[in-house]
Structure 1
């Protein structure tokens, strides 16, 4: 039985799920743009980070989307704050990478 109701935790799960696809596409674009300027070991590290992060975001998003309705309000607030922090770190990392590549 799958019970999906829309609350703050489910919204965070949706953000993680959709954001994982946006993250992998943007990370791969940045990797291909910087491929000539970085060493092979750094390039491999960037690719592994992009793949592992995307897998984690997909798993977290799926769990929150389908099981977020079980969270009490304080856990939903904690998950929302954690999602906001992850989004901030991703945007900061992407902007710093763009500024370094110019």
Structure 2
């Protein structure tokens, strides 16, 4: 999968329009389209913003690894329980403040 494919799939997965994503990144819709068509490559700064916006690792976005989410296989059951509690707390806080990206 190309970088452009990943950007498009992540954007669609979040239900973002190209216009919305462009605004969040401070670039034009045409640039998003060019990234997704692999006719232009995003700058390092834009790539880092994409990682933050989509909550994926740089390694995932650049194709170094296929897992877009954190690998917790080496964590203890207690550590996983703590992480799940934090995730639940973040989700509840986001709902409370009507926060979406």
Q: TM-score range by the shorter chain?
A: 0.3 to 0.5
TM-score by length of 1: 0.33
Q: Which has the higher contact order (CA 8 A, sep 6+)?
A: 1
Structure 2-normalised TM-score? Answer: 0.33
Larger helix share, 1 or 2 = 1
